[in-house]
Structure 1
Amino acid sequence: MYNTKTSFVYGFHGTDENIAFEILNGKRYFKVSKNNYDWLGDGTYFWENNFERAKQYADETSRRGSSTVKRPFVLGAVIDLGNCLDLLNQKHLDHLALMYENFKEDVRKEKKFLPSNQSFISKDTDFKKRELDCAVIRWAHNKAKFEGSKFDTVRAAFWEGKELYPNAGFREQNHIQIAVINPNCIKGIFLPRNKDMGYHQDSFL
């Protein structure tokens, strides 16, 4: 009853500058990520209301040898979350826990092994290779499709990076991420602009 989000959110997508302008001009679409370790399953990924983290991600990606990101850039999008698997909502957290139990039972019957969440590198304290989470969310999508109620988006908060300060409950890269499954939920694309520092709130025309 309360799955559908009535408000729009800003999402930011880190990519290459040339690719960004091709998307902006309608020459290509946003890439749909389908890696088996994607944190929120299949979809186009956005950082919710977080331009700086999207830019940081694009910069980090550009430093990988095989990366298609040569000139880091950020595109903005207006996203209608629609029928959202919102993992900031207790009902949906409970639902995903149930999907895990169903998935685990199916894996057991097929005499296979459960995937696991791991780090890409041994010293990394974050589980960035989230094969278990990805598999469970995919299972939840398949269950929803079977019941005739597809999810449009998936949304979740992540605590990532080092402690912000000693014994902190916050991390350096905390963020909310959105995976858009239904491309029609992307209502508009825009170039993020810098704040006009010459404008003063108390000025009169």
Structure 2
Amino acid sequence: MQPSLYNSKPSIIYGFHGTDKEAGLKILNQEAQFLHSNNSYDWLGQGVYFWENNLERARQYAEQDSKRENSRIKEPFVLGAVIELGNCLDLLDQQYIDFIRLAYNRLKDIMKAECETMPTNGQFGPNDFDFRKRELDCAVIRYACTLAEEAGQPFDSVRAAFIEGDEVYEGAKFSTGNHIQIAVINPDCIKGIFLPREAGQQPVFAEEK
């Protein structure tokens, strides 16, 4: 797949990652690394997931996840990251939307030839109206990444917009959980990690001894 003359992305974006405080501080202090999510239902395939320029949404996610049974998040916490998207499978770009349609058709043919059933997108429970169990989308994106790697142009990241949540107001086509999500495949895209500050918050400096 030849890149377009016009699909280069801003060199730097800010991403926010909801996690457990103890785990987050270990990453911040370079005692641990971000773990790739590798579930069969992950929306954007394998990678480290970030909310693009959306600190509050990352905070909401960490708080909501901490309430689940057996959650790894004991104390909700958010890390910020400075990210270069690199060669990005960007599903806000028509070229890449066409590419995953191609990947889907090829994957479907392979599965049919092998007498296997294509995965489907579904719900985690009866109240999951957003169909967050994205096993079909995950499989297609993973296969698209395989095609790109075989062509010698592996993707460094995947980026997509998601319409999620309830109507912002009656009759709205805007939803309460709309966001852009990024899955970083290549860890070298993460150029730095930081503790997010609120607007107007003064930085804290250690006192001189």
Answer yes or no: same fold by TM over 0.5. yes
Q: CA RMSD in A?
A: 1.2
- Which runs of structure 2 are paired with 1:181-196 in the superposition (5 Å)? 181-196=185-200
Q: Does the CA contact (< 8 Å) of 1:4 and 1:84 recur in 2? A: no
Rounded to whole Å, the distance in 2 between the matches of 1:137 and 1:124 is 22
Q: Does the CA contact (< 8 Å) of 1:33 and 1:42 recur in 2? A: yes
- Give the secondary structure class of the aligned counterpart of 1:82: coil
Deviation at 1:124, TM superposition (A): 2.1
Where does residue 130 of structure 2 map in the other structure? 126
Where does residue 207 of structure 2 map in the other structure? none
Q: Does the CA contact (< 8 Å) of 1:6 and 1:82 recur in 2? A: no
Q: Does the CA contact (< 8 Å) of 1:81 and 1:152 recur in 2? A: yes
Deviation at 1:135, TM superposition (A): 0.2
Matched, 1:62 2:66: yes
Quick one: which amino acid aligns to residue 41 of structure 1? G
- Which runs of structure 2 are paired with 1:27-176 in the superposition (5 Å)? 27-176=31-180
Deviation at 1:43, TM superposition (A): 0.2
Rounded to whole Å, the distance in 2 between the matches of 1:186 and 1:96 is 25
Deviation at 1:5, TM superposition (A): 2.6
Rounded to whole Å, the distance in 2 between the matches of 1:135 and 1:105 is 14
Quick one: which amino acid aligns to residue 100 of structure 1? Y
The runs of 4+ residues in structure 1 deviating greater than 6 Å are none
Q: Does the CA contact (< 8 Å) of 1:7 and 1:80 recur in 2? A: yes
Q: Deviations over 1:16-42 (max 9, x none)?
A: 111111000100001110000000000
What is the TM-score when the length of structure 1 is the normalising length? 0.94
Deviation at 1:170, TM superposition (A): 0.6
Rounded to whole Å, the distance in 1 between the matches of 2:71 and 2:197 is 26
Rounded to whole Å, the distance in 1 between the matches of 2:134 and 2:143 is 14
Rounded to whole Å, the distance in 2 between the matches of 1:110 and 1:129 is 24
Rounded to whole Å, the distance in 1 between the matches of 2:178 and 2:50 is 14
- Give the secondary structure class of the aligned counterpart of 1:81: coil
Deviation at 1:88, TM superposition (A): 0.3
Relative to its length, the structure with more strand (as a share) is: 1
- Give the secondary structure class of the aligned counterpart of 1:7: coil
Rounded to whole Å, the distance in 1 between the matches of 2:68 and 2:35 is 18
Deviation at 1:61, TM superposition (A): 0.8
Q: Deviations over 1:58-89 (max 9, x none)?
A: 00111112111111000000000000000000
- Give the secondary structure class of the aligned counterpart of 2:87: strand
Rounded to whole Å, the distance in 2 between the matches of 1:80 and 1:12 is 14
- Give the secondary structure class of the aligned counterpart of 2:33: coil
Q: How many residue pairs get matched?
A: 198
Tell me the percent identity.
Answer: 56
What is the TM-score when the length of structure 2 is the normalising length? 0.92
Unaligned regions of 5+ residues in structure 1, if any? 199-205
Deviation at 1:4, TM superposition (A): 4.5
